[in-house]
Structure 1
Amino acid sequence: MDVLGDILESIHLGGGVRFRCDLGAPWGMNLPRSDHAEFHFVVRGNAWLRVRGLAQPLPLQGGDFVAMLGGGEHSLLDQPDGLAPPIDEILGQQALTDYGPVRFGGDGRSTQLLCGYFSFDRNACHPLVSALPSLVHLSGSDLPQAAWLQTTLQFMQHETQIGRPGAEAVVNRLVGVLFIYMMRRHYELHPDTAGILAGMADRHISMALGAMHEAPQTPWSLEMLARRIGLSRSAFAARFHQLVGQTPMQYLAVWRMQRARRLLLDTTLSTAAIAERVGFESVAAFAKSFKKMLGTPPGAYRHQRLRNPHDIAVSGITTNT
């Protein structure tokens, strides 16, 4: 069972490249807060990243990659104290084809950027989403040890430059690969924050996760999962909690609700059918658990989300069973 692929599909991971930039100092651009997670790759030259809430601007150089996974407002500039006009104002002056390039600035030092975005369902009640860092910065010196990530970025840059037929389809698929490689490398460098990915990398815990993902309707117990993966009950419970940050039963409850909310939004299955698919013997028990975790009954959730897809935020999620 590909647990990570299952999770990414459930949160509807997507994205693409917005444009390439050829910049001459002095230059600057401000990107507003977004529902998407913006990313930038410094192909050549230098830049500064200024983020609201970050004490000091972050210096970037050729080969660096940065992603604003929280979707926060930020500015890219040639100097830390430079001016940054809104990106819409800059783009409004240019007609772009095949990803640009966007050209602006002065006659000074040249910088090239590749700017894109990740999209995913921020309302997803999966711990992978809630554990995402607001900012990921991978320096060029980090990437040689992660050749696959560097190669993906370079391939995306190449595809946007040459503009051959099918380039958009290739780039959009590469964005999903980029997200996985980016998160792997980030957590390799910061293993104390790895969470669910650390669990996936562990042979025993990945087996348990795979079992829960493959058959969420099964009435799993701690003993059943421990026996399936060949660990004692206590060893399994301690190892799972240490790596994933939740107990196995808490994770199972969250995954069942994530599967349920996607079935509510992506299918026309009845509430009773969905309850059965995620391991509940009665609609009443399912509705009670769903409301406890997501704050609204299943039927109301489906109706409100389909009518106003951006109105309901999943906040105050509990993971107690």
Structure 2
Amino acid sequence: MDNDNIIEIKNLTIQYKTDERTVEAVNGLNLTLSRGETLGLVGETGAGKTTTALGIMGLIPDPPGIVTEGEIIFQGQDLLKLNKHKLRAIRGKKISMIFQDPMTSLNPVVTVGDQIAESFRIHEKLSYADATLKAKEMLELVGIPGERYSEYPHQFSGGMKQRVIIAIALSCNPELLLADEPTTALDVTIQAQVLDLISKLKREKNTSMILITHDLGVVVEVCDKVAIMYAGEIVEYGSLIQIYDNTCHPYTKGLFGSIPDIESKADRLNPIPGLMPDPANLPDGCSFEPRCKYSCEKCKTHNPPAIEVEAGHFVKCFSTEKGGNE
């Protein structure tokens, strides 16, 4: 593993198995993230973004979830091979996660201060008094007065709850932060405040981050690299400039075409036709083929490999072999 990389994911495959069917949630995923970088993991609902993050955290519900293949290398260790005790020591201290819904991520019968202080008591072995002091400092850091330590989640607005979640995630100065759609449940003004807060804290602590979102506007504000995910696979990967200025995959083009542009007049947006395929019944070839206007017979029977179209820019599409699509 490159010393500059904080995490390297190789051929990660995650399935949810029941008696009736097998859901192929993540299929041969490969990702690399350098220290201090922010990667935007983008895709529609059901693409496998959250399952990827839960796989990194070791929180895939088992049963029915199972990691069938792959490696997640973090600081020279394969997280998938660690026992629960060693993984628990890493989770929350070196790798933290901001969960998607602040309304359900906090324990309603425990004060917000105690929920933050718990991280300090578990991972840094601080006394109750010292942990309380540090928790109040974290509240102040995310813009909440320390005297609100003893209040309960129901006494906070949605935006304030999200700030508490961020304080919990950043309490032990993690080296890798997984942010699962941290602004989805918030109004636009609070979204901007939360993104500014995450970016500020990330810069101050040099934290690497994987930002999970379906909002390409959010990505351009905070990310260095972008991975476009579809049906459990990374279909396009590259730097922010490569993805935005040299968009190659038809799915990525469709995502950009679905965004309203205030500078151009259009009667209608150009949405991607159809729906994400059923992960329990994926197509034999390219998963995007049924929705793709560039598809050919080969696409129906063969899954395209990731092709490097320029340095560091990878695309899973047969059209790139023919010089790109129009």
Same fold, TM-score > 0.5, yes or no = no
Which structure: greater helix fraction?
Answer: 1
TM-score bin, normalised by smaller chain: under 0.3
Which structure: greater strand fraction?
Answer: 2
